[in-house]
Amino acid sequence: MPSFYFLNLTAISVGGEMLTLPPTIFSGPETMLDSGTAFSYLPPTAYSALRMMTNLHSTGRIFHFSESQACLPFVENEDDSEVVIIGNMQHLTFNVVYDVGNSQIGFGPNGCS
């Protein structure tokens, strides 16, 4: 899939707190960075750990519809072997630079707020 950007995902942290995950959770499926997909798709093991985080509301990636309804912009894959997708909702707080000629991608602070 030459038109997609893949990376080696090794861990996920939220507000500086690392998710407790088996070290091999991201070693099987590839991880695709996709600015055309809104939500991120995670293996069930990672998704469950993310949902259990207590500091999710401080990350700025929770969308509140009312006092009792909110949306976490992540989706649980069917199983741990499916491709992981990092969607554009997670790109918003970064400047993302695509160097197509050199097949590289870079991230920096101060993206959209």
Domains of the chain, CATH where assigned: 5-108 (2.40.70.10)
What confidence score (pLDDT) does residue 83 get? 92
* 72 class by beta-carbon count within 10 Å (0-12 exposed, 13-18 middle, 19+ buried): middle
What confidence score (pLDDT) does residue 12 get? 85
Stated pTM of the model: 0.79
* 20 class by beta-carbon count within 10 Å (0-12 exposed, 13-18 middle, 19+ buried): exposed
What confidence score (pLDDT) does residue 32 get? 92
What confidence score (pLDDT) does residue 100 get? 78
Tell me the mean pLDDT per 10 residues along the chain, length 113: 79 83 85 90 91 66 72 88 89 80 79 62
